[in-house]
Amino acid sequence: MGTGEFFTTKLAEVVNWARKYSIFQYPFVTACCAMEYMSVMGSHFDLARFGAEIPRFTPRQSDMLIVVGTVTFKNAPVLRKVWEQMTEPKWVVAFGACASSGGFYDNYATVPGIDHIVPVDVYIPGCPPRPEQILDGLMKLQEKIQNGPLLAR
């Protein structure tokens, strides 16, 4: 008879590996970064190879909230409610300078970064960020998912 081969791993590692390649995104698009977001969704940059190609437009079917553009104090409660309705585990990506830090807006109406409203996992810099930066941010999120605990929070 031959020697038997077997494979052992932790359940958390298998689950996180599956989550890494099946990210269901909810785009919260408010401003000019939407054009770059649309370009990364096209065939040239092929977001499908990362398992995140189909946006969901209901938070209950999403596990990644991608905030694209400027967030004002008026729509901050809406963003918070969307985040609260998302399934666990959930991740948040701040897309561009305005979502990350308020951008060049220094006024009473603009939130100085969405981390004042929801916890952020990955920041994608730029005004607007290039599609390559977006892919890099997604790969950093995948790495965080793979190395993280079974539940994100």
Distance CA 106, CA 122 (A): 23
Question: 């031959």: which residue's tokens?
Answer: 2
pTM of the shown model: 0.84
Distance CA 115, CA 98 (A): 11
| Percent of the chain residues topping a pLDDT of 90 | 41
The architecture of the domain spanning 26-145 is 3-Layer(aba) Sandwich (3.40)
Residue-wise pLDDT tens digits, 41-50 = 877 887 877 7
* pLDDT for 129 beyond 80: yes
3-class SS at 38? Answer: helix
Q: How long is the chain?
A: 153
Instruction: For residue 94, give every residue at least 6 positions away whose Cβ sits within 8 Å of its Cβ, in sequence order, or none.
Output: 67, 100, 113, 114, 115, 120, 122, 123, 124
- Domain residue ranges in the chain: 26-145
* pLDDT for 23 beyond 60: yes
Q: What is the largest CA-CA distance in the chain?
A: 76
Residue-wise pLDDT tens digits, 51-89 = 777 888 888 989 899 999 899 999 999 999 999 999 888
CA torsion angle for 36, 38, 39, 45 (degrees, to 10)?
120
Alpha helices in 10-95 (DSSP H): 11-20, 34-41, 76-85
Burial 82-101 (b: 16+ CB within 10 A, else e): bbeebeebbbbbbbbbbbbb
